[in-house]
Amino acid sequence: MNNDYYQKRELQTRMKMSKYTEKLPDYCYDFFIGIENNTSILTRYNYSMDIFIFFNFMSQHIFHKDENQITLDDLEKLTTQHIERFMSYLSYYVIEEKTFQNNERAKARKLASLRSLFKYLFNHNLISANVVSKISTPKLHNKEIVRLEAEEVKTLLNVVENPIEFSKRQQIYNKNTFERDNAIITLFLGTGIRISELVGLNLESFDFSQNAFLVTRKGGNQSTLYFANDVAMALKTWLEKRATLNLPAEEKAMFVSLQNKRISLRAVEDVVKKFALIASPLKKISPHKLRSTFGTNLYKQTNDIYIVADILGHKDVNTTKKHYAAISEDMRKSVAKNVNLYN
């Protein structure tokens, strides 16, 4: 299926990536060409940001020359102490008068980017040693899975339908967006798709005779997912409202903004946030947290981590296991409580 949204997004990402790669030496450009067939443009963009930060650090604190003037011979002079200094530097640093901070996960990602670059250079005999491979990944503490409980899901849907706690101005605004917002939140809760996957949906993505839709996953692969009748009803109600809008004939996006164009990632985040703040004020609920809510419910219903991984679009089931290990522990405790030694 041709989808202009993903083509435009890739072009925009390539343009943003070039702002970093043009400041880096030519061998970094060769690296990005070398990994192109095995990575997505979003992955390479993140690599380009991380690698630029490293070269900026070397420029300012080690070699005292412009980033693109750092040679392979310079890289040969790096020691583990230099890399460790960089990892410490990431806690708090300034680039172009902007201040940045990195937690353990952000540091781990940047180290992974450097490992990929230095592995490429070493495997292509451009450097004689891979000093970065000697650096241990920062210890990562398990993140708590933030999700909505069953009652909170009901409350969220009720708030969308009847946002009485909003100001009069907000209520007037919501009258114009209720059908869309309800369909968005219902689709998140009912299918667990990512926010980027939702934004990229077109009218032609859906087949209501099958209660199915085609979603473009991370990396560009496509999958067919299915939804329940509650989701279908919310989507059809939105489509009836959408048909009354004065949209350009060429606009095929499933979800549109009040400006009559494809809704943005930020707008979808705002939709979820404004209702979630009322439904569950103590939890920072985002579209990804609604995805976690779906994954949790699916795992509890099926007890099959492979089905959950497949539907969520995880390429590695270990990713799914890592996220839902706590639920397995809860299930084991629940089963243990049912064992009665006296009966």
User: If you write DSSP's letter for every residue of 25-77 in order, what string do you get?
Assistant: -HHHHHHHHHTGGGS-HHHHHHHHHHHHHHHHHHHHHTS-S-GGG--HHHHHT
pLDDT band, very low/low/confident/very high, at 1 (cuts 50, 70, 90): very low
80 phi, psi to nearest 5 deg: -60, -30
pLDDT band at 45 (very low <50, low <70, confident <90, very high): very high
- Tens of pLDDT, residues 148-175: 888 999 999 888 887 766 667 776 667 7
CB 117 within 8 A of CB 47: yes
Q: Which domains does the chain have, with CATH numbers?
A: 4-134 (1.10.150.130), 150-327 (1.10.443.10)
Tell me the pLDDT band of 340, cut-offs 50, 70 and 90.
low
55 by Cβ neighbours in 10 Å (0-12 / 13-18 / 19+) ranks as buried
Distance CA 120, CA 113 (A): 11
Please report, rounded to a whole number, the percentage of residues in the chain having pLDDT higher than 70.
90
Token couple for 85: 């200094």
Least confident range from 90-94, 140-144, 178-182, 291-295: namely 140-144
Q: Which of 262, 241, 235 is nearest to 250 (CA)?
A: 262
Q: Model confidence at 327, in pLDDT bands (50, 70, 90)? A: low
At 43 the pLDDT is 93
